[in-house]
Amino acid sequence: MNQFERYGNLIVISGPSGVGKSTLVKEVRKVLDDLKFSISCTTRSPRPGEEHGREYYFLAPEEFEAKVQAGEFLEYAGIFARRYGTLKSEVLSRLKAGEQVLLDIDVQGAKQIRAAAEKDPELARSVHFVLIAPPSLASLETRLRGRGSETEEQLQLRLGAAKAELSNYGIYDYIIVNDQLEQAAVELTAVLRSFRFLTKTLKNELFNE
């Protein structure tokens, strides 16, 4: 038996659309290759190259609502006139198994998970909140336009939400500024790595023989 066996970590990553969350996480996974992505449900349409069951579970609004009614979500939110949610089945058993689970969710979802953790010591033991911020709001617009994935209407919705989202930085434990990608990836890797050494995730009592 490994006496240093641990529960996993639930890493909640938020940041405005276009700040570089997906790009950064891809970099970090090159180093921390055991990070598991929780695949969210969404009612938005897939972007070119996105696949059902890989980036998201793409659901019809009725399918999403059925999961809400069945209590299948750990959290869910309405964002940019679409619905997004994290399935309990993507997260809870993996934490018990000691895995590192990553959620890329918005601030409404992060708040719901914080509230849930206040009532649930098992969740509280494992959860960490990390905000990815742009160096400025102007650079965010440049990146989002550069990605070229949104209509002008969606772009305006996303930029409008960014400022409000960033003003909630106080609910996060960590803030990483994604200015130079390489540097930000090193910083995020360091933060995520540190979670693996916490005493509170140990499963067994130590040195009690």
Q: Examine residue 106 and tell whether it contacts ligand 5GP (CB under 6 A).
A: yes
Residue 75 interface partner, choices ligand 5GP, ligand ADP, none, CB cut-off 5-8 Å depending on type:
ligand 5GP
Q: Segment contacting ligand ADP (CB under 6 A): 51-59, 78-86, 142-150, 196-204?
A: 142-150
Any idea what the Cα angle at residue 96 is, between residues 113 and 59, rounded to 5°? 55
CA distances for 130 relative to 102, 107, 154, angstroms: 10, 11, 25
Q: Which of residues 75-104 bind ligand 5GP (CB under 6 A)?
A: 75, 77, 79, 84-86, 104
Q: Examine residue 181 and tell whether it contacts ligand ADP (CB under 6 A).
A: yes
Q: Which of residues 2-41 bind ligand 5GP (CB under 6 A)?
A: 14, 17, 40
68 CB-near residues (< 8 Å, 6+ apart): 76, 85
CB of 31 to ligand ADP, least distance (A): 17
**Residue from 44, 82, 128, 143 binding ligand ADP (CB under 6 A):** 143
Q: Examine residue 71 and tell whether it contacts ligand ADP (CB under 6 A).
A: no
Q: Which residues is 10 bridged to in the sheet? A: 101, 127
Q: Which of residues 117-176 bind ligand 5GP (CB under 6 A)?
A: none
CA distance 10 to 103: 7
Residue 124 interface partner, choices ligand 5GP, ligand ADP, none, CB cut-off 5-8 Å depending on type:
none
Contact 166, 133 (CB under 8 A): yes
Q: Examine residue 105 and tell whether it contacts ligand 5GP (CB under 6 A).
A: yes
Q: Which of 113, 133, 114, 127 is nearest to 175 (CA)?
A: 133
What b/e readout covers 183-196, taking b as 16+ CB neighbours within 10 angstroms? ebbebbbebbeebe
Helix, strand, coil content of the chain in percent (nearest 5): 45, 20, 30
Q: Which residues bind ligand ADP (CB under 6 A)?
A: 15, 17-23, 143, 146-147, 178, 181
Q: Which residues bind ligand 5GP (CB under 6 A)?
A: 14, 17, 40, 44, 75, 77, 79, 84-86, 104-106, 108-109
